[in-house]
Chain A
């Protein structure tokens, strides 16, 4: 068979061939045996044609053809009518497809040229225009929020910061952040600039899943639109802290009071004299801490000690501490004289540089002056900063295996408390403790690729888990197929199409504690933002591809059955007429 010809119903070739052969033979034999053998040759020819055409009707032969379907315009939301009109004027026979009418984009591969007008085609549909000659012409300027960034997963007591860019075409429009009950928490008023950044923030008070909202109002307070801002607020988890001290200091006294008052588990081992200690257990179970070993260190997330205590540790204790840090991710925070940091053996990980200033103020704590030791930490590979001022690092940590070892040059922070600057004190110590503490190990971690999920539209999520074959079910217990990453075996991705609005949940079958909640938005919410995003995606997509001419596609096109039918009728007529002549 020729490459140019094929049968669409190729599976039927043999049955058709057999039928054809038998029919031909039967009819030829019939004509041969009939008495009046006039016009035998003509009859045989006609039989051949009619039977063949019948067989071909069934087989549907197709021939390779160059396809050229002309020019197509796809209109999407927000397109400019003038662009469409001028295109129509330029090209006759322009085919217009309205993307919003759910028309299929599949047959467009063969079009000579495609124009996409307006906000663009949803990113999950872009693949259908691959290998086409397409031009993207963006639509009207967008008005409203076009960029938005906020932490959807947050913790009680933290600040919710909603940052974004507002494209504004009217003076004095404003954005208002409202909580779940509709209380206005923060607002921003915009001037006449075309694009303006904004930041709205509030402190989160209660744990749970809430739908905040961002409302756009005009200068008269009329609500222009209202967009849901889902926030997942988790409960606080306090780290368990062990404090070891060679002698009581005010720093430790205030720190332990601060933590204990917040209800944290704090255990303090304070040396009174040689070999004698004072053990204090705040909100914690009493335990044996006479010597440190990996089992009693396992109960803590962070060890705060002074350099003096580190020196008094026995070898086995040092090893246990070192091991806990490296293997389990325990945090270690070393306080005390800066000079002593250099002779701590394995724990001497910092390099110090002398400085002359003894008082600093940090960016976030501008009004607060803090006293420091006359050193700063040298910026080097692996050093992660916590508190810095003008490129001088005053608190930092280094990774050691899974864990972290940190220190600070700040001293006498407790004086902040006496000065009534509670917030600054809390800020400093929260920073340090949070950064250094052992991270909670999660069995599975979900992340959503799409920020704004809509009903009946694909929602792509990513899962990282150490489980072998994770099984993910949605809340109706439908199984969602997962695709494993080729290179990183722990990364999986899946796509689901949410069936209803509001909070939806994905569960992992192997681990009931690992679940992921996502919010399905109303289809008309965040319009400007989604349009902006598709616009960007379209620009990127159409820019990258198909510059210049493309090979015109050839495809098999079925020969219209009408032709075979015609031949059949014609030969039948011949067969009918011949005896009558």
Chain B
């Protein structure tokens, strides 16, 4: 009986102690994990475990739980034991009879009670605390906050650490120098405003134009270190035990390091990527503006809009380029203006909210005028800034005059000046007049005829203007032409040249200023030494809008118009009519030619020699030979050869020869071209290929890995006809002969 009671107490005590130990352990363990998450340092974590363990132990003191304490606790937590559980600890022989009785009673009671009583502990708190600690640690690790506590940040962590592989294992005789420190410093271009960053990660991702400096430190003396990048070697500068080198990034690529130790053995590092990020051009967004806005003359002609300009490193400048076009057809004139935004542009801001109000009246725009404008924004990039421009927006003040349908529906542009249209009108009027003859009085008839003659004259003058004639002169000269030119319409050369004034080409400056100037320059060179000293605008005839044939046609038309006018003035509209028709026909032709002129921009058909056409004469026609070689050979040739060679190496277990190394190198170059586009996909293979090319001992796994990577890099092959081979024996021949006989 007594035994049972005491053993229950002992069991309870043990249980209590275990609970406390567990608590202590939980605190220590969870805090150790927290420390590990934050520092990723096993040593620190172990120390913290020990520390917390000892502290918690001193606080909890599980060893202090002895039987006396246990019985006191049990007595305190149960009222059925009548504070007598200590009796169980006494030897029954030392007890009085009553005490014995009590001891027995208590022993029984305890057996029932003990299940209800739980030792005093804070295990729940301990569990919650430790879970919390672990979660905090994990979150810190996950979000990167732990970087702050990361004490080995500057020390090289295992993964980032650059490993150097000896190129020739056999040459390694002495202690291999070990890389103590590696550091990449990236100086971003000053305009970005980014601070200099340093990291021990060798895969570089930086903005175009950044300056990268590498710093490598070895624990022993090293003869030389060089940087290999895309087939180029560059020695690194030596200062004590460290080496440094720097370059400005312009293109993405790969690089690796190579160093020679004092005994002459060479080591090579893995391949690392350089990924160059391009500075983005600014993004322009216009709000509150339609692409095409039109105003009535009476409207309040104001454009109001806001512009949002965003750039990754700051906008340098932004403005509006506006063009006003006046007039139509040939007389259209453009005026370009640069407008500033109403809100001042502050240079260097990454986001600009600008607004602008354009008052069309202030732009001196009249009905029929059009305004085109776009927004241009530049960023801070150096040496050459990125320029972005928005779409073009239109604003038109509707013309109050309606022109009616254009000459050429098919063309988007109204090619011809308006007055080309009126010859037809004149004909209609003349025909009307002829029909009315007899019905109206002679005076009226004559005056109408005279009016028509005047119209004809003004039409001729307008055409003359177009030809380059001066208005007044044309009339005066025109009179004389009739006599001279009446019968030789076909004459190409203009007899007028002798009479024409040398200064009458002013008008062209407005029309085709550029080409005209150019023509003059060329003329100057041809005309000889005197040309520079003479005041000469060139031949007015050759400087009009049209080519020579057109010009002569127009001249001809003008002459015919003269005739038409003459007869109208003589009150003989019926005689004038044929000339008018002829003039109309010529004008029509000119219009058509002008249309050809416009269409011809793309394609210039060679002139057809009419006399040689369809004659069947082949004397000058020769056979034509053309030879073409496709010189872009298979761009994956070495990769394919490498794959095959690796297959052989895989099976035969033999070592790669020098020729193989060369092949691997070539394959590496081929792959690098592809890898620049997708460095993530092929970098590993490229690294391994480099190892293959440099190492003496090659493992099977490496070969298989490289082969795998290379096979993946090969593109899909297109279907193409191939030559089939077969053995054509006597039997085949017999069968074929037999077939033919039976056909």
Contacts and interface: CB of A to CB of B under 8 A. Distances in A.
A429 B721 contact: yes
Interface in B687-743: 704-705, 707-708, 711-712, 714, 716-731, 733, 736, 739-740, 743
A427 B624 CA distance: 32
B647 to A, nearest CB: 6
Contacts of A466: 729-730
B643 A440 contact: no
B445 to A, nearest CB: 64
B626 interface: yes
A275 B618 contact: yes
B604 interface: no
Contacts of B630: 260-261, 263, 282-283
A296 interface: no
Interface in A169-212: 179-183, 203-211
Contacts of B716: 203, 205
Nearest to B703: A181
A38 interface: no
A262 B640 CA distance: 17
Interface in A426-457: 426-427, 429-430, 432-434, 437-445
A38 B383 CA distance: 144
B194 interface: no
A181 B707 contact: yes
A464 B731 CA distance: 11
Contact of B721 (A273, A279, A434, A442): A434
Size class of the A contact interface (CB-based, 8 Å): 35 or more
Given A260-B630, A490-B730, A205 B624 contact: no
Given A277-B623, A401-B740, A434 B647 contact: no
Interface string A362-382: 000000000000000000011
A205 B642 CA distance: 13
B625 interface: yes
Given A277-B623, A282-B628, A445-B727, A180 B647 contact: yes
A263 B733 CA distance: 33
B644 A426 contact: no
A390 interface: no
Contact of A434 (B618, B722, B736): B722
A527 interface: no
Interface string A272-286: 111111111111001
A182 B704 contact: yes
B170 interface: no
Contacts of B626: 278-281
Contacts of B743: 381-382
A28 B134 CA distance: 118
B587 to A, nearest CB: 41
Interface stretch (A89-97, A139-147, A232-240, A560-568): A232-240
Given A183-B708, A382-B739, A464 B717 contact: no
Contact of B618 (A273, A432, A444): A273
A238 B722 contact: yes
Given A239-B722, A276-B621, A276-B623, A183 B728 contact: no
A76 to B, nearest CB: 32
B627 A239 contact: no
B728 A402 contact: yes
Nearest to B639: A206
Interface in B640-655: 640, 643-644, 647, 650-651
Contacts of A210: 647
Given A399-B736, A426-B718, A439-B724, A180 B624 contact: no
B677 to A, nearest CB: 19
Interface in A245-273: 259-264, 272-273
A155 interface: yes
Given A203-B716, A272-B624, A399-B739, A464 B727 contact: yes
A274 B618 CA distance: 8
A279 B627 CA distance: 8
Nearest to B717: A157
Contact of B647 (A209, A237, A264, A402): A209
B719 A437 contact: no
B640 A238 contact: no
B622 interface: yes
A210 to B, nearest CB: 6
B629 interface: yes
Contact of A279 (B625, B723, B726): B625
Nearest to A381: B743
Contacts of A276: 618, 621-623
B718 A272 contact: no
A281 to B, nearest CB: 5
A402 B176 CA distance: 70
Contacts of A439: 723-726, 728
Contacts of B740: 400-401
Nearest to B740: A401
Contact of B719 (A157, A263, A443): A157
Contacts of A203: 716-717
Contacts of A260: 628, 630
A436 B534 CA distance: 77
B651 A427 contact: no
Contacts of A282: 628-630
Interface string B600-638: 000000000000000000100111111111100000000
Contacts of A158: 722
A503 interface: yes
Nearest to B720: A262
Interface in A342-398: 381-382
Contact of A181 (B623, B704, B724): B704
A430 B727 CA distance: 22
B739 A180 contact: no
A488 interface: yes
A301 interface: yes
Given A273-B618, A278-B624, A279-B624, A205 B728 contact: no
Given A286-B625, A429-B721, A503-B651, A181 B708 contact: yes
A180 B700 CA distance: 13
A539 B201 CA distance: 68
Contacts of B628: 260, 280-283
A279 to B, nearest CB: 5
B681 to A, nearest CB: 14
Nearest to A380: B743
A283 B628 CA distance: 6
A13 interface: no
A308 interface: no
A443 B728 CA distance: 9
B719 A426 contact: yes
A206 B711 contact: yes
Contacts of B624: 272, 277-279
Contacts of B714: 205-206
Given A155-B722, A183-B712, A272-B624, A442 B727 contact: yes
A354 to B, nearest CB: 24
Contacts of A440: 723-726
A281 B722 contact: no
A156 interface: yes
Which of A180, A274, A442 is packed against the most chain B CB atoms within 10 Å? Answer: A180
A85 interface: no
Nearest to B735: A399
A442 B726 contact: yes
6 contacts: A157-B719, A278-B626, A279-B624, A281-B625, A282-B628, A466-B730
CB-CB nearest 5 A-B residue pairs = A433-B721, A445-B727, A181-B708, A208-B644, A440-B725
Given A157-B718, A205-B714, A283-B630, 10 more contacts: A182-B708, A207-B644, A238-B723, A277-B624, A278-B623, A282-B628, A282-B629, A381-B743, A433-B721, A488-B729
Interface of A: 155-158, 179-183, 203-211, 236-239, 259-264, 272-283, 286, 290, 301, 329, 381-382, 399-402, 422-423, 426-427, 429-430, 432-434, 437-445, 464-466, 488-490, 502-503
